């Protein structure tokens, strides 16, 4: 791996971000409007259901953050694919790892800025002071969400390469099923019994459970954090070899060429 | 020394469940400093071969080496590509694109500045340096592509239909540039093309591909004369004994007779045959076949 190539790709991402207005929409418009919607909901139910309001607001902060960190990595790749510039990047001696790493770094940095904005908005506009009071816990949950999302993005990148360009929609759609199964607003016990074991290994399950506990009980069970960390890291550890294997295979079956031009 | 060595390369590709035989047992070498042409009709496998050399596609069988090494990111760093269907990220300006590739090739800030300004003059892209890629015309895109391709001073340049869609005057310039780069820097060049005159003008040697296989390889002259055929065209005052003429292989069109000569068949025996039959000859012309004729012949054989 050559670091200057990763830096070059990050430079390029930065320029694209500056030049392409839709990227700003992706990063700012959707997350911020979502948080305002649920923040207003939370304020309006304060008398009747304070806890529910907070739960929906804070889960949405993490959901949006996770979604952004994952989808922006994958959508940037699809952007290169649809603009036909992907082939030229790999032809210049960029490796599959350098490519995805640059994507992950830019997405993580930009999403981190956004999550700070979203937390600030929740705290100062919608009284989610619980986030400030438990700041170190919030930082830990944020990191776990980021790691899980990166793992997912690498996995989705592999899936798109394996299935072909026409499955590019996975870049923005796949997160939904993972969030559903990660039980965001409800406890895992609402799922049928056969689904519950699956739900336990979903990337955000422990994180969402932790948020719910924090809001209702004021603390987070350390085992949730440990399990969350194990699962997040496991996603990363599995998805990287999967991505590199698929990439190698895509050179054999012609999918990389099709993706690239 | 061989810069490219391709030995018995085969590649099958699947498209909508159907297997396409993209390359079959292809072998060729490209020598240092040479301009080598890959020629052939649509779907012959030219781009597939180029993709393999660029390590975005891997062959099923056979071996490929570049600079005497297995292909990989380190060989790619000393190569570059210009392609007729070139597209860069549409929101980036020409300058940002060159800047990006300069960084990819590990140039320092100083080197980038120097080389980008030099190349932008050379390829006349100065006036659209700040324009977005999506606004550029085909010719401008191609010039930008050439500038990008020279950033890393490649030892090997792959040109996949480099004059596709260009105005004739720009195509001429591009060809001059290819020749110049080859002469000045000794850059080895592999070129694919549909344009026969381009290949005849530029290439030291060519391989004619058809249906994923190499039909003929060698100097342009050798490929042309591989069938050994050339035409004699005779204008006469009056056509007599058409049956005998046809039997001898002449085609008659008005007062013009045309015949394809086989290897070794001489002009004079045919002319004396005409005078023996009392046909008065006004004018004789012979036509060496062009690559175009060769191309058409192969295409016809296919159909
Ligand atoms: N990624 C791919 N998947 C499936 N089939 C492919 C793929 N790439 C090329 N082919 C097929 O392989 C054959 C060779 O294609 P190739 O692009 O190499 O031809 P070419 O000589 O470059 O043609 P052209 O002159 O039209 O550019 C064609 O039949 C093409 O449809
Ligand atoms: Mg082609």
Would you call A93 and B89 a contact, using CB atoms and an 8 Å cutoff? no
State how far residue A61 is from chain B, nearest Cα, in angstroms: 30
What pLDDT, on the 0 to 100 scale, is given for residue B226? 63
Atom number, ligand 1, closest to the C-alpha of residue A255: 1
Q: Measure CA A161 to chain center.
A: 19
Chain A residues whose CB is inside 8 A of the B57 CB are 251-252, 254, 256-257
The neighbouring-strand residues paired with B63 are B7
Most confident of A18-22, A49-53, A136-140, B216-220: A136-140
Q: What torsion do the CA atoms of A112, A114, A119, A124 make, to the nearest 10 degrees?
A: 140
Q: pLDDT: is A103 or B168 the higher one?
A: A103
Q: From ligand 2's centre to the CA of B161, what distance in Å?
A: 7
Q: Which pair of structure tokens corresponds to residue B135?
A: 């606004």
Average pLDDT rounded to a whole number, residues A147-154? 97
Half-sphere exposure of B226 (CA within 13 A, CB side): 18
Name the packing angle between helices B109-122 and B138-150 (round to 10°).
140
Q: Which of B46, B52, B87, B93 to mutate to test the interface with A (most CBs of A within 10 A)?
A: B87
Q: pLDDT: is B154 or A25 the higher one?
A: B154
- From first to last of its 303 residues, chain B has per-residue pLDDT tens of 899 999 999 999 987 778 888 999 999 999 999 999 998 888 899 999 999 999 999 999 999 999 999 999 999 999 999 998 778 998 999 999 999 999 999 999 999 999 999 999 988 899 999 999 999 998 889 889 999 999 999 999 999 998 887 788 878 888 988 998 899 889 999 999 888 778 888 999 999 898 899 988 988 777 766 655 677 889 999 888 888 889 888 988 888 998 888 767 778 888 888 988 889 988 988 776 666 677 776 666 655
CA pair distance B229, B92, nearest whole angstrom: 52
- In contact, A147 and A233? CB cutoff 8 Å: yes
What pLDDT, on the 0 to 100 scale, is given for residue A189? 93
Question: Measured between alpha carbons, how far is residue B87 from residues A80, B29, B154 in Å?
Answer: 10, 29, 20
Q: Considering only the beta carbons, identify the residue of B76, B90, B106 that sits closest to A83.
A: B90
What pLDDT, on the 0 to 100 scale, is given for residue B22? 92
SS3 string of A31-94?
HHHHHHHHHHHHHHCHHHHHHHHHHHHHHHHHHHHHHHHHHHHHHHHHHHHHCCCHHHHHHCCC
CA pair distance A137, B81, nearest whole angstrom: 51
Nearest to A51 by CA among A197, A185, A173: A185
- CA-nearest residue for atom 30, ligand 1, is B43
pLDDT digits (tens, 9 = 90+) for A218-258: 889 999 999 999 999 999 999 999 999 999 999 999 999 99
Half-sphere exposure of B37 (CA within 13 A, CB side): 26
Nearest to B288 by CA among B236, B239, B223: B223
Q: From ligand 1's centre to the CA of B49, what distance in Å?
A: 9
Helices (H) and strands (E) in chain A, counts: 13, 0
- B156-160 and B188-193 beta bridge pairing: parallel
Q: Considering only the beta carbons, identify the residue of B74, B89, B105 that sits closest to A85.
A: B89
Would you call B100 and A8 a contact, using CB atoms and an 8 Å cutoff? yes
The neighbouring-strand residues paired with B281 are B236
Contact status of B55 with chain A (Cβ, < 8 Å): yes
CA pair distance B142, B157, nearest whole angstrom: 15
CA-nearest residue of chain A to B132?
A19
CA pair distance A2, B106, nearest whole angstrom: 9
- CA-nearest residue for atom 6, ligand 1, is B13
SS3 string of chain B?
CEEEEEEEEEEEEEECCEEEEEEEEEEEEEECCCEEEEECCCCCCHHHHHHHHCCCCCCCEEEEEECCEECCHHHHCCEEEEECCCCCCCCCEHHHHHHHHHHHCCCCHHHHHHHHHHHHHHCCCHHHCCCEHHHCCHHHHHHHHHHHHHCCCCCEEEEECCCCCCCHHHHHHHHHHHHHHHHHHCCEEEEEECCHHHHHHHCCEEEEEECCEEEEEEEHHHHHHCCCCEEEEEEECCCCCHHHHHHCCCEEECCEEEEEECCCCCHHHHHHHHHHCCCCEEEEEEECCCHHHHHHHHHHHHC
Q: Which ligand is nearest to the CA of B18?
A: 1
- In contact, B42 and B20? CB cutoff 8 Å: no
- In contact, B20 and B50? CB cutoff 8 Å: no
- In contact, A97 and A174? CB cutoff 8 Å: no
What pLDDT, on the 0 to 100 scale, is given for residue A45? 85
What is the best residue among B9, B17, B21, B43 to mutate for testing ligand 1's pocket, by most ligand atoms within 8 Å of CB? B43
Is A111 in a helix, a strand, or coil? helix
What pLDDT, on the 0 to 100 scale, is given for residue B215? 86
């Amino acid at each position: 791996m050559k670091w200057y190539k990763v830096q070059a790709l990050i430079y390029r991402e930065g320029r694209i971000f500056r030049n392409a207005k839709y990227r700003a929409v992706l990063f700012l418009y959707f997350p911020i409007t979502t948080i305002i919607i649920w923040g207003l909901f939370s304020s309006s139910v304060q008398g009747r259901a304070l806890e529910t309001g907070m739960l929906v607001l804070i889960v949405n902060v993490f959901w949006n953050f996770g979604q952004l960190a994952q989808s922006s990595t994958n959508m940037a790749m699809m952007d290169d694919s649809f603009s036909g510039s992907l082939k030229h990047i790999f032809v210049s001696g960029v490796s599959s790892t350098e490519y995805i790493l640059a994507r992950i770094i830019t997405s993580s940095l930009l999403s981190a800025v956004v999550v700070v904005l979203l937390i600030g908005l929740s705290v100062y506009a919608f009284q989610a002071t619980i986030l400030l009071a438990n700041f170190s816990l919030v930082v830990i949950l944020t990191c776990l969400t980021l790691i899980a999302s990166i793992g997912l993005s690498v996995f989705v990148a592999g899936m798109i390469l394996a299935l072909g360009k026409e499955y590019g929609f996975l870049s923005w759609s796949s997160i939904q099923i993972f969030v559903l199964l990660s039980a965001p607003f409800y406890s895992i016990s609402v799922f049928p019994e056969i689904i519950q074991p699956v739900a336990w290994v979903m990337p955000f399950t422990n994180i969402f459970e932790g948020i719910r506990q924090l809001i209702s009980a004021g603390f987070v069970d350390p085992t949730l954090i440990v399990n969350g960390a194990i699962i997040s890291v496991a996603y990363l550890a599995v998805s990287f070899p999967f991505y590199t294997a698929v990439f190698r295979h895509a050179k054999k079956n012609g999918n990389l060429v099709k993706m690239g031009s | 020394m061989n810069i490219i060595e391709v030995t018995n390369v085969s590649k099958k590709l699947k498209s909508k469940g159907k297997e396409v035989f993209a390359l079959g047992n292809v072998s060729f070498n490209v020598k240092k400093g040479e301009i080598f042409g890959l020629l052939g009709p649509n779907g012959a496998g030219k781009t597939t071969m180029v993709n393999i050399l660029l390590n975005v596609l891997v062959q099923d069988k056979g071996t490929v080496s570049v600079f005497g090494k297995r292909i990989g990111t380190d060989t790619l760093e000393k190569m570059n590509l210009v392609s007729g269907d070139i597209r860069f990220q549409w929101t980036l300006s020409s300058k940002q694109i060159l800047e990006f590739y300069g960084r990819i090739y590990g140039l320092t800030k100083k080197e980038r500045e120097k080389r980008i300004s030099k190349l932008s003059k050379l390829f006349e892209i100065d006036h659209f340096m700040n324009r977005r890629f999506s606004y550029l015309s085909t010719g401008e895109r191609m010039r930008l592509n050439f500038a990008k391709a020279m950033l890393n001073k490649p030892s090997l340049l792959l040109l996949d239909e480099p004059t596709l869609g260009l105005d004739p005057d720009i195509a001429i310039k591009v060809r001059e540039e290819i020749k110049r780069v080859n002469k000045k820097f000794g850059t080895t060049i592999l070129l694919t093309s549909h344009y026969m005159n381009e290949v005849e003008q530029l290439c030291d040697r060519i391989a004619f591909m058809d249906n994923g296989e190499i039909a003929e390889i060698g100097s342009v002259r050798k490929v042309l004369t591989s069938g050994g055929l050339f035409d004699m065209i005779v204008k006469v005052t009056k056509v007599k004994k058409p049956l005998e003429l046809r039997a001898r292989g002449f085609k008659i069109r008005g007062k013009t007779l045309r015949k394809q000569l086989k290897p070794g068949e001489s002009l004079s025996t045919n002319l004396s045959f005409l005078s023996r039959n009392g046909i008065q000859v006004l004018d004789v012309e012979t036509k060496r076949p062009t690559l175009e004729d060769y191309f058409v012949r192969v295409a016809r054989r296919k159909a």
